[in-house]
Structure 1
Amino acid sequence: MNTSIPSEQSAILAQSLQTAMRKLRRRLRQQSTLSELSASQLAVLHHLENEGAETVSALARSEGIRPQSMAAIVNSLMAAGFITGNPDPNDGRQTLLSLTDAWYAWVMPRRALRKDWLTRSISASLSEDEQETLSQAISLINRLTDDASNGK
Structure 2
Amino acid sequence: MSKKAQEDQGEDQHARAAILARELRIVFSNLKRRLREQATAGDLTLSQLAVLSRLDREGPATVSNLAREQGVRPQSMGATVAALEAAGLVRGTPDPADGRQTLLSLTEACRELIDASRIAREDRLLAVIEAKLTPAEQDELARGLKLLQRLVD
The TM-score, its normalising length taken from structure 1, stands at: 0.81
Amino acid at match of 1:11: A
Distance 1:95 1:113, change over 3 A: same
**8 Å CA contact 1:84, 1:98 repeated in 2:** yes
The corresponding residue for 1:108 is 115
- Superposition CA RMSD, Å: 2.3
Q: Does 1:99 align with 2:106?
A: yes
After superposition, the Cα gap between the structure-2 partners of 1:14 and 1:125, relative to the gap in structure 1 and judged at 3 Å, is: same
Could you tell me which residue of structure 2 aligns to residue 70 of structure 1?
Answer: 77
Aligned residue for 2:36?
Answer: 29
Larger radius of gyration: 2
| Partner SS, residue 103 of structure 2 | strand
Instruction: Render the CA deviation track for 1:108-131: whole Å, top value 9, x for unaligned.
Output: 222222111111111111112211
Please say if 1:51 is aligned against 2:58.
yes
How far apart in 2 are the matches of 1:140 and 1:38?
Answer: 34
- What do the CA deviations read for 1:33-65 (whole angstroms, capped 9, x no partner)? 236433322221121112111111222233343
Count of aligned positions: 143
1:127 and 2:119 are equivalent in the alignment: no
Give the gaps of 5 or more residues in structure 2.
Answer: 1-9
Q: Is the 8 A contact 1:85 1:97 kept in 2?
A: yes
Please report the TM-score for the alignment, with normalisation by the length of structure 2.
0.80
Deviates more, 1:27-36 or 1:89-98: 27-36
| Equivalent of 2:49 in 42, 49, 61 | 42
